[in-house]
Amino acid sequence: MDDSKQQVTIYTDGGCDPNPGPGGWAAVIQVTAPESPAEIVLTGNAPQATNNRMELEAAIAALAFLGGRYGRCQVQLHTDSTYVQAGISSWIERWVANGMMMGMPVINQRGLVGRITEVYQSASRVLLITDSDSSVNSVLQNARLRGVVRGRTLEDPIMDYLPPEQPVNVGDIILTSGEGGNFPNGIPVGQVVEVQRNDVEMFQRAIVRTTVDFNTLETVLVITNFDPIPVGE
């Protein structure tokens, strides 16, 4: 054990009732320091989640807090979640071997989830396509019209900058276009559920229902053989 690093013990728990359903998590962080010992409690919740997601959120939040407050620490993490235990003890070697990098696309079997924005020793943070900071260059599958799918706070994403003279229909499938270098082309993003057009705006817009169900999202895949433009460029 490296005695030069801050010694920290973390206790985490999380769950939903029912599963999936409304959930919450908590983390107790105990910092061992002769001059200034501390105990910090972090909590969080989600209207729709899974047991595994809440267990993982607790661990990630605690580690992220430590990184920002104390920097590199010597950590003992206690959890009853086999999902979190496997991530720390078994899966991390594959993550490191696969070379997790910021900007890598994240998907599941239904479509685009987002992209990695931060990489930690045992986890990564993902910017979801539903986040208000997210924008994805996209294309309508049949009409081949290009636009940008932007996340919105507490609302469905919206596809912007669609040419006003071209027809956009409810039910149209939206894919990544590959333009801009952030994502490979052809990944399902969502489906048009409403079209907004008027004589004042230069472009028409489409409300998007994502193909991924983010309320029950639990397992994802990272595309590691794609060379993205780094986040922030």
Torsion sign (Cα): 222, 191, 158, 50? negative
Cβ contacts of 151 within 8 Å, gap of 6 or more? 128, 129, 130, 131, 132, 133, 134, 135, 157
The reported pLDDT for the residue numbered 3 is 56
Q: Looking at the predicted structure, is the pLDDT value of residue 229 above 70?
A: no
Q: Looking at the predicted structure, is the pLDDT value of residue 76 above 50?
A: yes
Q: Which of 76-85, 114-123, 176-185 has the lowest mean pLDDT?
A: 114-123
* pLDDT tens for each residue of 7-20: 899 999 999 999 88
Task: Tell me which residue has tokens 């990272």.
Answer: 222
Q: Residues 213, 129: contact at Cβ < 8 Å?
A: no
List domains and CATH numbers for the chain: 6-98 (3.30.420.10), 102-233 (2.40.10.350)
| pTM score, whole prediction | 0.62
